[in-house]
Amino acid sequence: VEAQAADFALAVDIGGTKIEVARIDRSGQLLTPISKQRVPFGPDGSADARRLIDILAPYAQQSRSQPGRCYGIGLSVCGNIDPHSGEAVLVPNLHWRNLPFGQMTAEALKLPVYSATDVRMAALAEALWGGAQGVYNFLWATVGTGYGGYLWLNDKLYGGLHGFAGNFGHITLDEVNGYPCGCGRKGCFETFVSGPAIARAGQAVLDAGHSPALAHLAQDGRVTSAMVFQAEAAGDLEAQAIVEQVIRLISINLGGVVNLLDLEMIVMGGGVTHGSPDFVARVSRRIRDFLMTVEARRDLRVIHESFPNAALFGAAAHVFIESGVNCLAKG
Ligand SMILES: [Zn+2]
């Protein structure tokens, strides 16, 4: 396909609470600022697909009046999307099960729509335009509301049998004493290291009266993960212990994946990794304690994500790839 410099994809990332939209060109450059809106939920607690499409409609309309060609809508969704049909198989945060959202969007907005799981798109963006350019074996890991990621092996995305590979956050740590997990099981790593897990641990030390800093920060008595990081930065010993434990468990978990797959790089993103400025550097140091070989300890690189929202950029790349258009390396 002969593409022009002004050509673009309309990238859409649907998270558990917010939706982000932007036009992105073949070299991974934003052509518009990233627009953010809240995901509309219906009375039954599930994300309202019709209202979501209504939100996207003006962006699709604007795309038609641009100088370049719009190759379609890249849809990144925070759940399991069938890589072949694009159907939203299971999206717990939106309460979607077997919803052909991509197809509905394509019919309503009269543009080709390419749907995929957000973590898969994030890994794609890092490989094409981000810090993992030229890296043959790496892992994308996001720590936020959830904890998980995706694999890039032998210089391509690795989905596994169903396209669900990369769920290292749902490796069990303690199914006896652990907490219930969003996946329906108990004691997954995610339940110990995610944003809500950090908030819960902070709440426990506040309620026990052990953290003066959190007591000061949580005016209404409700601790957030951001407060735990603030308290940590202020020197609060209990908050420091919570963050240290999170870094230790992530390092054990990802160290295991590196031991399994002999990876060259881990790219980390998500709200929790922005909790303190040196979070990723600390994981990079701590993970060495859990790596089996001297070669891995020497060569593994752990870096921070290259984008404000890697999944959004990957959603654009997905459109170009599916349209047979070459993506250009970032200059
Ligand atoms: Zn789980």
pLDDT in tens, the chain (331 residues): 677 888 999 999 999 889 999 999 999 999 999 999 999 999 999 999 999 999 999 999 999 999 899 999 999 999 889 878 889 988 888 999 999 999 999 999 999 999 999 999 999 999 999 999 999 999 999 999 899 999 999 999 999 998 889 999 999 999 999 999 988 899 999 999 999 999 999 999 999 999 999 999 999 999 999 999 999 999 999 999 999 999 999 999 999 999 999 999 999 999 999 999 999 999 999 999 999 999 999 999 999 999 999 999 999 999 999 999 988 886 5
Ligand 1 centroid–CA 187 distance in Å is 7
Ligand 1 centroid–CA 90 distance in Å is 14
Q: Which pairs count as long-range contacts for 84-88, CB under 8 Å and 24+ apart, including other chains?
A: 86/113, 86/114, 86/115, 86/116, 87/115, 88/115
Quote the pLDDT of residue 54.
97
Ligand 1 centroid–CA 320 distance in Å is 33
Residue given tokens 């998500």 in the structure block: 270
Tokens of 42: 């219906």
Residues 246 and 249: their CA atoms lie apart, in Å, by 5
Quote the pLDDT of residue 197.
97
Quote the pLDDT of residue 288.
98
Quote the pLDDT of residue 84.
81
Ion ligand 1, residues whose Cβ is below 5 A away = 170, 181, 183, 188
* Residues ≥6 apart with Cβ < 8 Å to 165: 150, 151, 158, 159
Residue given tokens 């998980």 in the structure block: 148
Let me know: does 261 contact 153? Beta carbons within 8 Å: yes
Quote the pLDDT of residue 331.
56
Quote the pLDDT of residue 156.
96
Side by side, which strands form the sheet with 8-14? 35-38, 18-25, 8-14, 70-77, 113-117
Let me know: does 239 contact 214? Beta carbons within 8 Å: yes
Ligand 1 centroid–CA 272 distance in Å is 18
Ligand 1 centroid–CA 268 distance in Å is 19
Ligand 1 centroid–CA 245 distance in Å is 19
pTM confidence score:
0.93
Let me know: does 34 contact 21? Beta carbons within 8 Å: yes
Q: Among 312, 227, 325, 288, which residue's Cα sits nearest to residue 23?
A: 312
pLDDT in tens, 181-226: 988 899 999 999 999 999 999 999 999 999 999 999 999 999 999 9
Residue given tokens 């349209």 in the structure block: 323
Q: How many residues would you count in the chain? A: 331
Residues 268 and 265: their CA atoms lie apart, in Å, by 10
Let me know: does 311 contact 76? Beta carbons within 8 Å: yes
Quote the pLDDT of residue 233.
97
Strands 70-77 and 113-117: parallel
Ligand 1 centroid–CA 169 distance in Å is 7
Let me know: does 68 contact 7? Beta carbons within 8 Å: yes
Termini Cα distance of the chain: 22
Quote the pLDDT of residue 3.
76
Ligand 1 centroid–CA 147 distance in Å is 9
* Residues ≥6 apart with Cβ < 8 Å to 257: 139, 168, 263
